[in-house]
Amino acid sequence: MIQIKDLSKIYTTKERVVKGVDNVSLNITTGEVFGIVGYSGAGKSSLIRCLNLLEKPTSGEIKIDGLNLMKLRGRKLRQARLKIGMIFQHFHLISQKTIYENIAFALRAAKTPASQINKRVTELLEMVGLADKRDVYPAQLSGGQKQRVGIARALANNPSVLLCDEATSALDPNTTLSILRLLKKINKELKITIVLITHEMNVVKEICDRMAIMQDGKVIEEGAVYDIFSGPKEELTKEFISSVVSFDVPSAILNKCTGRIVKVMYKGDVAGEGIISDTVQQYNIKGNFLHGSIEYIQEIPLGIFLMELQGDNQEVEKAISYMSSRASLVEVIDHGN
Ligand SMILES: Nc1ncnc2c1ncn2[C@@H]1O[C@H](COP(=O)(O)OP(=O)(O)OP(=O)(O)O)[C@@H](O)[C@H]1O
């Protein structure tokens, strides 16, 4: 369990004082994949870097499995930090060393006996699917392969926590997916808690169990990924979700709509049709279906559709409030003419 309590990181420069992290409290359960999302400058890097004390918090508390990191010094602190692996957006590999040496370096730094190093590096390279690359240099690898080396290095000393700092942001979508799958496999098989920061909701949707959204150094919303997707509360959260679940209805079609356009989200894959047909039957309105899809989050379906509702204003209002009682989110996108 990672317990973050009242954590703040304040940067003081000549020009200004910035609260990079502003009084954040979060509990991350052992064995989960926890995503922290936010736009640039929200404080994600500051927060994740505080978790292994790469950044020294200004105040607050970080406990990992009950150990208060900020109270540890010397050897005890070094030992605790070995149990926290980290991977980075730009991989941070040593370009003059081979892949083997990049990984062995982390083992030597942790004073692993020389006799164990070869076996452990071989194991790690197999785990990340790079057994044939042990003697090449980082420049000879693709971005995805470099990140696999980063992951092998981060796992070298058997950490209980893996921190991922925008680990897929420099990768194309297919490579991103393969790295996310590898991270999920590591999470499941090695039972490592993963904390990742990202500005991409797709990443969260793909592998996270729970998530938090940051803005101006604060956590503004947190919860299970499915719950956040199906019932976002904050405007910013809704904005992030719409980046994944977007409806690109051609403007020529939208311009032709004279009724009210509503977006509806519902849980499960069968209830959606029922909501539409019941609404149209019960109220004196016409409903035109503009767009619909089912997203799978943690393999649970989440239905989303866009409709135009036409009819008397009061009837349309009643229909919307009826749909709101059955769906997890109903949002009026356009009020019509
Ligand atoms: N070393 C520093 N000195 C001064 N201000 C800093 C420093 N590091 C971060 N900040 C400021 O703290 C705030 C949070 O930055 P941080 O990098 O944590 O955000 P982020 O969400 O990770 O954004 P990005 O994805 O762009 O890195 C920003 O206003 C940033 O300018």
Q: What is the DSSP string of 187-255?
A: HHHH--EEEEEES-HHHHHHH-SEEEEEETTEEEEEEEHHHHHHS--SHHHHHHHHHHS-----HHHHH
Query: pLDDT-derived band of residue 272, with 50, 70 and 90 as boundaries?
Result: low
Residue 36 Cα, ligand 1 centroid: separation in angstroms? 14
Residue 78 Cα, ligand 1 centroid: separation in angstroms? 25
Query: pLDDT-derived band of residue 247, with 50, 70 and 90 as boundaries?
Result: low
Say what the pLDDT of residue 43 is. 97
Instruction: State pLDDT tens for residues 279-291.
Output: 889 999 998 888 8
Instruction: Kindly give, in sequence order, each residue whose CB lies less than 8 Å from that of residue 326, ignoring residues fewer than 6 positions away.
Output: 266, 271, 274, 275, 278
Q: What is the mean pLDDT of residues 148-170?
A: 96
Q: Which residues line ligand 1 (CB under 6 A)?
A: 11, 13, 18, 20, 38, 40-46
Which atom number of ligand 1 is nearest to the Cα of residue 38? Answer: 21
- Tell me the whole-structure pTM to 2 decimals: 0.88
Which atom number of ligand 1 is nearest to the Cα of residue 39? Answer: 21
Query: pLDDT-derived band of residue 252, with 50, 70 and 90 as boundaries?
Result: confident
Residue 44 Cα, ligand 1 centroid: separation in angstroms? 8
CA distance 246 to 157: 41
Q: What is the mean pLDDT of residues 149-175?
A: 95
Residue 53 Cα, ligand 1 centroid: separation in angstroms? 15
Residue 222 Cα, ligand 1 centroid: separation in angstroms? 21
- Site to substitute for ligand 1 among 17, 18, 36, most atoms within 8 A of C-beta: 18
Say what the pLDDT of residue 264 is. 86
Instruction: State pLDDT tens for residues 44-90.
Output: 999 999 999 999 999 999 999 999 999 988 888 888 999 999 999 99
Instruction: State pLDDT tens for residues 201-226.
Output: 999 999 999 999 999 999 999 999 99
Of 199-208, 243-252, 294-303, the poorest mean pLDDT is in 243-252
Higher pLDDT among residues 188 and 325, named by residue: 188
Which atom number of ligand 1 is nearest to the Cα of residue 55? Answer: 1
Residue nearest to atom 24 of ligand 1 (CA): 40
Q: Which amino acid is at 175?
A: T
Higher pLDDT among residues 55 and 301, named by residue: 55
Instruction: Assess contact for 197 and 100: CB atoms under 8 A.
Output: no
ipTM: 0.97
Q: What is the mean pLDDT of residues 234-244?
A: 89
Residue nearest to atom 31 of ligand 1 (CA): 41
Q: Is the pLDDT of residue 95 over 80?
A: yes
Q: What is the mean pLDDT of residues 219-243?
A: 91
Say what the pLDDT of residue 268 is. 72
Buried b (16+ CB within 10 A) or exposed e, 48-58: bbbbbbebebe
**Distance between first and last Cα of the chain:** 53
Domains in the chain, CATH or no CATH each: 2-233 (3.40.50.300), 245-334 (3.30.70.260)
Say what the pLDDT of residue 103 is. 97
